[in-house]
Amino acid sequence: MYELWKHKNILLLTRSINQSSWNGFYSRSEKPRMSKEGADDLVPEGDSYKPSAKKTVDEYAKLDAEDESLQKWKKSLGLLGGEALPVIPGDDRKVVILEMALLIDDAQPIVVDLTNEKTLKNLAKDHFKIKEKSVYRLRIKFKVQHEIVTGIKYLQAIKKAGITVDKVEDPLGSYPPSTKEKPFYEVTLPETEAPSGLLARGSYSAQSKFIDDDKVSYLTLNWGVEIVKNK
């Protein structure tokens, strides 16, 4: 991962994937809880954190210009060169989520093109099928444009029968604009194990959101998963 630095809030958000026994959708789950009507399940923790003042790519590139080791580090992050990717006229987004892939052990990856409007509309009804006790991960592919973006996060809430059974907040990092040499970034989230048993099997609704330190939301997804019996 090409992180510019480790933010204070990102360090606080790191959680062990074995935090608790499975009470909901993820092994990282807290206890199931009923959501209040109209409540937003996708609110990041640590909202009191205030990000530092933003700098442009040029300003970061000029910081401590005499420090050779720091210059090498900046170069590795694409801050000291590289031709910027063309941006579609009128596209003001700083982060463009390109793809989400469900990586399941012993199975072909399920790849979803998040730039396709038809695909986005069908996500909620076309549930991903996962066998109980399967180990899987989510891989996110995205690009950054216009300026450096700090503290990108992936938020997720899982519900079954109206009850929120899991909430996840994973840091994706901080990135400079994508270049022709590095046109996109990929982050694979921690592996998790699907639940098992009669009560765990069935359909779940999921909502995911991608935000940054400034609470700018770049994409909200409504999708679903069905946990099926492992025959």
Q: What is the pLDDT of residue 124?
A: 83
Tell me the C-alpha distance between 185 and 100, whole Å.
12
Q: What is the pLDDT of residue 85?
A: 86
What is the helix, strand, coil percentage profile of the chain, to 5?
Answer: 10, 35, 50
Q: What is the pLDDT of residue 80?
A: 53
Buried b or exposed e, range 178-216, using 16+ CB within 10 angstroms: beeebeebebebbebbbbbeeebbeebbbbbbbbbbeee
Tell me the C-alpha distance between 193 and 184, whole Å.
28
- What does residue 62 show for φ and ψ, rounded to 5 degrees? -90, -10
Check residue 64 and report its DSSP letter. Answer: T
Q: Which domains does the chain have, with CATH numbers?
A: 8-228 (2.70.50.30)
Element (H, E) at 71: helix 68-76
From first to last of its 231 residues, the chain has per-residue pLDDT tens of 333 333 333 222 223 323 322 343 444 444 444 444 444 677 776 655 555 556 665 666 556 566 677 666 566 565 656 788 899 999 999 999 999 999 998 889 999 999 999 999 888 888 899 999 999 999 999 999 998 899 999 999 999 998 999 899 999 999 989 999 899 999 999 998 998 999 899 999 999 999 999 999 999 999 999 999 987
Q: Are 110 and 128 in contact (CB under 8 A)?
A: yes
Neighbours of 224 (CB within 10 A): 17
Q: What is the pLDDT of residue 12?
A: 26
Q: What is the pLDDT of residue 229?
A: 92
Tell me the C-alpha distance between 126 and 225, whole Å.
8
Q: Per the structure block, which two tokens stand in for 42?
A: 């996708």
Tell me the C-alpha distance between 130 and 112, whole Å.
15
Question: pTM surpassing 0.85?
Answer: no
What single string gives the DSSP state of each residue in 142-188? EEE-SS-EEEEEEEEEEEETTEEEEEEEEEEEEEPPPBSSS--EEEE
Q: Per the structure block, which two tokens stand in for 17?
A: 């994937």
Q: What is the pLDDT of residue 192?
A: 87
Neighbours of 103 (CB within 10 A): 17
Buried b or exposed e, range 55-83, using 16+ CB within 10 angstroms: eebeebbeeeeeeeeebeebeebbbbebe
Q: What is the pLDDT of residue 219?
A: 96
With vertex at residue 135, the alpha carbon angle to CA 134 and CA 140, rounded to the nearest 5 degrees, is 125
Q: Are 174 and 148 in contact (CB under 8 A)?
A: yes
Q: What is the pLDDT of residue 203?
A: 93
Q: What is the pLDDT of residue 126?
A: 85
